Amino acid sequence: MERSEFKIEICANSVQSCVKASLGGADRVELCAGIPEGGTTPSAGMIRSARESVGIGLNVIIRPRGGDFLYSEEEVRQMLYDIETAKDLGADGLVFGALCPDGEIDMRVMSRLMSAAGNLPVTFHRAFDHAKDPLGALENIISLGCVRILTSGQRANAELGSGLLSLLVEKAGRRIIIMPGCGVNASNIRQIATVSGAREFHFSARKPVESRMVYRNPSATMGDGSDDYSVPVTSSDIVRETIAALL
């Protein structure tokens, strides 16, 4: 397999992760905050700094919160504002998705978001994995004009979902890109590629980086307190190793 056959997208949780992804040979990043929640919209400062720091593709997730993908009018309005911000700050693409209560694609909300996106290419994110009818959802997403679907094949990870991924790739043809994501790593990326026929892949390649803090107060914790003294950051070595395993 030739490197030119594939596109690699890294889920980047910081500007540092964007830089590491670029050094590792990624084609683009999906910039997210709120990784423990599955990814939420990054701040304007993060988007601007990332754009200034890397020359590879920069896709920005537009997701106002964690949880489900059924959005209120207030949340949709927030997403529309965030789309304009991402466009103004130099995003190359946008990543979003919305569902109805019955698990169908929310065509009304999606049409509004697509209109705001304008000429920027849109990836429909893993809201797809919570859609009731994946093949029906595929056709609706194509009709909206999205260029890509990020999906684990509606399973806990893309390796387990490779059967549906294969079917989606077949049904999509050249109309839209199916990009496996979730649990993609050096040990399984080639198998997922072989089984599914996919040619774009999404993974994080992160590892914990120890804090430089010397003084540490064990009596005060932030968030869930699981680890206040390390930060997960994309590793350029893991990116390179995963790409090498694919080839």
Q: Which two tokens stand for residue 225?
A: 């307190």
Nearest-angstrom CA–CA distance, 207 and 13 = 12
Nearest-angstrom CA–CA distance, 18 and 49 = 10
Residues 6+ apart with CB under 8 A from 35: 11, 13, 204, 232
Give residue-wise pLDDT tens across range 51-87.
Answer: 999 999 999 999 999 999 999 999 999 999 999 999 9
Give residue-wise pLDDT tens across range 6-44.
Answer: 999 999 999 999 999 999 999 999 999 999 899 999 999
Above 70 in pLDDT, residue 226? no
Please tell me whether the overall predicted TM-score, pTM, comes out greater than 0.85 for this model.
Answer: yes
Give residue-wise pLDDT tens across range 34-51.
Answer: 998 999 999 999 999 999
Q: How far is CA 106 from the centre of its chain?
A: 19
Locate the DSSP E strands across the chain: 7-12, 28-31, 57-61, 93-96, 122-124, 148-151, 177-180, 200-203, 206-210, 230-234
